[in-house]
């Protein structure tokens, strides 16, 4: 029998709720979600990894501190945080592409599908975006509708709106990624 995955779990208070962070023993993020969605993230971890041991650990590998810094305005700090994906090859491709969207910018599902080389896969991109287990750090919130509307976000549209406004304010752009003079 394989030994269980061991993930370190910590919580960080943010202006939009308490977030839960889980990383592996090497320090790669495996999960970022909201503590009020425990019924979603705990089964999801087990579905992706099988037998999982969750051990609470304060600020594992400095990840919680980095996320707190992001919430306090250092919006580019999350770009360097290590992540590890456990999705399908297509999901992993979408999630990697999400990490290339700069803070303060947004793009549509259609543009994201084109960027990964599969312009007809708009719905599949949307499904992969929605299945992202490392929200905020793998910034699925930066994907919007082709008409500029704020579309679904697992943490809720109010959180998505706050994240986009927060990043725009600290990256010097407006809500939809256009430069703002300072």
> Annotated catalytic residue: which of 20, 21, 97, 140?
140
CA angle, corner 59, sides to 58 and 63, nearest 5?
155
The reply to whether 23 belongs to the active site is: no
* Residues forming a β-bridge with 63: none
Write the CB contacts of 32 (distance below 8 Å, at least 6 apart in sequence): 19, 20, 21, 22, 67, 133, 134, 135, 136, 137, 138
The radius of gyration of the chain's CA atoms, rounded to the nearest angstrom, is: 16
Q: Classify residue 108 by its DSSP letter.
A: E
Token pair belonging to 82: 């290590």
Token pair belonging to 32: 């970022």
Contact in structure between 159 and 16 (CB atoms under 8 Å): yes
Tracing tokens 């977030």 back to the chain, one arrives at 19
Catalytic annotation, residues: 140
């Amino acid at each position: 029998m394989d030994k269980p995955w061991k993930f370190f779990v910590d919580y960080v208070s943010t202006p939009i709720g308490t977030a839960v962070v889980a990383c592996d023993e090497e320090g790669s993020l495996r999960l970022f979600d909201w503590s009020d969605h425990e019924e979603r993230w705990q089964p999801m971890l087990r579905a992706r990894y099988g037998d999982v041991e969750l051990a609470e650990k304060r600020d594992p590998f400095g990840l919680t501190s980095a996320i707190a810094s992001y919430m306090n305005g250092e919006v580019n700090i999350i770009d360097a945080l290590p992540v590890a994906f456990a999705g399908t090859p297509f999901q992993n491709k979408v999630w990697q592409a999400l990490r290339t969207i700069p803070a303060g910018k947004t793009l549509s599902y259609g543009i994201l599908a084109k960027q990964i080389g599969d312009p007809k896969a708009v719905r599949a991109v949307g499904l992969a975006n929605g299945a992202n287990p490392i929200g905020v750090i793998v910034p699925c919130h930066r994907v919007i509708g082709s008409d500029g509307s704020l579309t679904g976000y697992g943490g809720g549209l109010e959180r998505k709106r706050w994240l986009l406004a927060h990043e725009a304010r600290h990256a010097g752009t407006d809500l939809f990624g256009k430069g703002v003079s300072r």
